[in-house]
Amino acid sequence: MSVSPSLSPTDIIIFGGNGDLALRKILPALYYRYRDGQLPENSRIVGIGRAVLTPESQYTDMVKKACVEHVAPADFDAAVWKQFAQHIHYAAVDAEDSKAYAQLTAFFTKQSHLVRVFYLATPADVFGTICRNLHQAGLIIPDARVVLEKPIGHDLMSFRAINNEVLKYFEERQVYRIDHYLGKETVQNLMILRFANNLFEKVWNSGAVDHVQITVAESLGVESRARYYDKYGAVRDMIQNHLLQLLCLIAMEPPAKLEPDILRDEKLKVLRSLRPFTGRDTIRDTVRGQYRAGAVGGQPVLGYIEDIGQKKSDTDTFVALKAHVDNWRWSGVPFYLRTGKRLPQRYSEIVVQFRPVPHQIFPDQGAEQQNNKLIIRLQPDESIKLEMITKVPGPGGYRLKPVHLNLSLSEEFEDRTPDAYERLLMDVVRGNPTLFMRSDEVEAAWVWTESILKGWDDNNQKPKPYIAGSWGPADASALMTQDNRRWHETD
Ligand code: BG6
């Protein structure tokens, strides 16, 4: 294992170190980066949690179990693990107790590192307190960085309060607001598709595009996150961040350079062009749903309220909506977004539906059949398909049929696709904020999301039930059919 020589030794301090995110995602990602020689030697990983775990090896054992579970068996190497384990430490600290930070100060003075990453894998309402306590304990060195998990806040006001508190102690350049969708290889590939191929730019606008669909469907329910989820719901958990980021990458203007702020400026312009929902718009253009008991993948599953162990809840587990990007390029092109839990299958897909040819010379076979479509599958199996209209061979006149030009990226590139967290963690270590959200981006996303929340509130719009294993409430299809369109049916 040769270690990347250019990176400074780094301390990665994970608040919420024994929580679900740390064990499922962050630590396995660090294992992979260590295995591939990217984590500088002399780096240390410090899990922070409330629980007292003595000896420290209790924590290492916990991390080992998580790595065995979440690293592919072929990639888990006992010898590498042994070396990796030597970099892992644990400190029992109540993040809200300022005095408890003294032991961290003692730990860090033992070895002075050049880069210090504080990863806050905790609920956002303690971000401010942790940052204040880190500051008071003198732990924020010039090369310190703080990573904040989404969603930051519950609405615009709480986002501002948390963000302002964090920015009292860290400069904007030190703050890495994570949206793990931006770390997905396939999502980065959206930029390559658009800005490294000359083919699409000329048709990437309202002149040629009829509408765009973005679907992030999940078959799982809320799992063990009931407390968090019930407070947030699908619109805050998914639309405000992941789906809006995907929308930005599809809708943004080509950046002049691949520089963090230049790219983020372009995304910000899209977010600021989103038309807010006013008056009764949400009734017409948004659908809220909540799953009831049903079956997914042939297995019976409980409904949402049974899952969270409550009698009643008005939280959305499904949202579909029609958004508008009011700018020169996209005027009149609706963006339909859809996400939900307990849908029939897990997949994320973007469909760019092109307009029909301006003058049709072949017999009419229904408008739908005669338009091109670009279907970008982000997960689970990455592919890019272009639906082309062709002639069905043989007699019978000109019978048209859409067929696929099909590029399967998983077949083309056989290497393992790294998890989003691997890329993002290394970007933090390297100090590259390109794939992280700037304050003003998150703020703009909240401004627009809040117009939905307000519409729901003002119009008393409650989630409609849908059966687990279906594609959401019937209104989600109506959202499209009222515009003479329909959701792309995945294979
Ligand atoms: C997280 C949400 O940000 O993204 C989860 O909080 C969701 O509710 C998850 O399940 C989906 O991520 P992925 O990478 O599995 O598509």
Can 70 be counted among the known catalytic residues? Answer: no
Cis link prior to 9 (omega < 30° from 0)?
Answer: no
Task: State the Cα–Cα distance between residues 173 and 166, nearest whole angstrom.
Answer: 12
CA of 150 to the centre of ligand 1 (A): 10
Residue closest by Cα to atom 4 of ligand 1: 238
CA of 477 to the centre of ligand 1 (A): 23
Ligand 1 first shell, C-beta below 6 A: 218, 237
Residue to substitute in 230, 238, 246, 347 for testing ligand 1 pocket (most ligand atoms within 8 angstroms of CB): 238
C-alpha dihedral sign at 449, 454, 459, 462: positive
Residue closest by Cα to atom 5 of ligand 1: 237
CA of 420 to the centre of ligand 1 (A): 11
As a whole number of Å, the end-to-end CA separation of the chain is 41
**Pairing label, strands 373-379, 44-49:** unpaired
Q: What per-residue confidence (pLDDT) applies to 411?
A: 84
The two three-digit tokens of residue 198, written as one number: 């000359």
Nearest to 212 by CA among 339, 330, 389: 330
Q: If 0-12 CB within 10 Å is exposed, 13-18 middle and 19+ buried, where does residue 143 land? A: middle
Give the C-alpha distances (Å, rounded to integers) separating 171 from 138, 140, 486.
15, 11, 46
Digit-coded pLDDT (tens) for 356-399: 988 888 877 765 566 899 999 999 988 999 999 999 999 888 88
CA of 343 to the centre of ligand 1 (A): 14
Q: Element (H or E) spanning 10, and its range?
A: strand 10-15
The two three-digit tokens of residue 182, written as one number: 């931006």
Residue to substitute in 179, 235, 237 for testing ligand 1 pocket (most ligand atoms within 8 angstroms of CB): 237
Residue 33 phi, psi (nearest 5)? -65, -35
Q: What pTM value is reported for the model? A: 0.95
Residue closest by Cα to atom 14 of ligand 1: 181
Residue to substitute in 24, 180, 437 for testing ligand 1 pocket (most ligand atoms within 8 angstroms of CB): 180
Residue closest by Cα to atom 8 of ligand 1: 237
The two three-digit tokens of residue 205, written as one number: 């606008």
Distance of CA 118 to the CA centre of its chain: 20
Residue closest by Cα to atom 13 of ligand 1: 181
Residue 217 phi, psi (nearest 5)? -105, 140
Digit-coded pLDDT (tens) for 426-448: 999 999 999 999 999 999 999 99
The atom of ligand 1 lying closest to the CA of 241 is 3
Please count the helices (runs of H) and the strands (runs of E) in the chain: 17, 17
Residue to substitute in 152, 182, 218, 225 for testing ligand 1 pocket (most ligand atoms within 8 angstroms of CB): 218
Q: What per-residue confidence (pLDDT) applies to 55?
A: 82
The two three-digit tokens of residue 314, written as one number: 């008005």
Q: What per-residue confidence (pLDDT) applies to 409?
A: 83
CA of 218 to the centre of ligand 1 (A): 8
Side chain identity at residue 435, one-letter code: L
Per-residue pLDDT tens digits of the chain, which is 491 residues long: 444 557 888 999 999 999 999 999 999 999 999 999 999 888 999 999 999 988 888 999 999 999 999 999 999 999 999 999 999 999 999 999 999 999 898 888 766 668 999 999 999 999 999 999 999 999 999 999 999 999 999 999 999 999 999 999 999 999 999 999 999 988 999 999 999 999 999 999 999 999 999 999 999 999 888 999 999 999 999 999 999 999 999 999 999 999 999 999 999 999 999 999 999 999 999 999 999 999 999 999 999 999 999 999 999 999 999 999 999 999 999 999 999 999 999 999 999 999 998 888 887 776 556 689 999 999 998 899 999 999 999 988 888 888 999 988 888 887 888 999 999 999 999 999 999 999 999 999 999 999 999 999 999 999 999 999 999 999 999 999 999 999 998 76
CA of 238 to the centre of ligand 1 (A): 7
Residue 280 phi, psi (nearest 5)? -100, 15
Q: What per-residue confidence (pLDDT) applies to 111?
A: 66
Q: What per-residue confidence (pLDDT) applies to 3?
A: 46
Residue 333 phi, psi (nearest 5)? -105, 105
Residue 478 phi, psi (nearest 5)? -60, -30
Strand spans (E) along 34-81: 44-49
The atom of ligand 1 lying closest to the CA of 150 is 3
CA of 216 to the centre of ligand 1 (A): 9
Task: State the Cα–Cα distance between residues 304 and 312, nearest whole angstrom.
Answer: 9
DSSP 270-303: HHHHBPPP-TTHHHHHEEEEEEESEEETTEEE--
Structural domains present in the chain? 10-149 (3.40.50.720), 182-490 (3.30.360.10)
The two three-digit tokens of residue 23, written as one number: 């064990």
Q: Would you say 468 and 292 are in contact if contact means Cβ atoms under 8 Å apart?
A: yes
Residue among 113, 180, 211, 242 flagged as catalytic: 242
Only one residue has tokens 């063990």, namely 224
CA of 416 to the centre of ligand 1 (A): 20
The atom of ligand 1 lying closest to the CA of 242 is 3
The atom of ligand 1 lying closest to the CA of 379 is 16
CA of 157 to the centre of ligand 1 (A): 24
CA of 318 to the centre of ligand 1 (A): 13
Residue closest by Cα to atom 10 of ligand 1: 218
